[in-house]
Copies of this chain bind each other. A is one copy, B any other.
Amino acid sequence: MNRKKRVTIYDIAQKLNVTASTVSRALSNNGYVNETTRQLVLKIAAELNYKRNTLASNLRKGETKTIGVIVPRINQNFFANVIAGIEDSTYQKDYNLIICQSDELHEKEIKCVNTLINQHVDCIVISVSADSYNYDHLQNVIDQGIQLIQFDRVAEELETLKVINDNEQASFEAVCHLIEQGYKKIALLEGPQNLNIFRQRKSGYLKALRKFKIKVNNAYVVENAWTKELGAAATKKLLSLPDAPDAIFASTSDFSALGVLEVANDLHIKVPSQLGICGYSNEAFTEITSPSITTIDQFSVDMGKAIANLYFDEMEKAEASVTPKIISIKPKLIVRGSTIRRGLEENQEIKSQESR
- A residues with CB within 8 A of B: 1-4, 6, 49, 51-56, 58-59, 62-64, 73-75, 77, 80-81, 83-84, 87, 91, 96-101, 108, 114-115, 117-120, 140, 143-145, 147, 258, 262, 284-285, 288-290, 314-315, 319-320
Contact = CB atoms under 8 A, between A and B. Distances in A.
B53 A118 contact: yes
A91 B27 CA distance: 36
A63 B6 CA distance: 13
Given A83-B75, A289-B288, A96 B96 contact: no
Contact of A97 (B73, B100, B319): B100
Contact of A73 (B3, B84, B285): B84
27 contacts: A1-B145, A1-B147, A1-B319, A1-B320, A2-B145, A3-B63, A3-B145, A49-B143, A49-B144, A51-B114, A51-B117, A53-B59, A55-B55, A55-B58, A55-B119, A55-B120, A74-B80, A74-B84, A74-B87, A75-B80, A75-B84, A96-B115, A97-B98, A97-B99, A262-B288, A285-B285, A289-B289
B56 A59 contact: yes
Contacts of A6: 144-145
B54 A120 contact: yes
Contacts of A319: 1-2
Given A3-B62, A75-B77, A315-B1, A118 B54 contact: yes
Report how many copies the assembly holds.
2
Contacts of A290: 290
Given A285-B285, A314-B1, A119 B54 contact: yes
Contacts of A58: 55
Contacts of A284: 285
6 A-B pairs with the lowest CB-CB distances in the bound complex, closest first: A4-B145, A75-B80, A285-B285, A55-B59, A54-B118, A75-B84
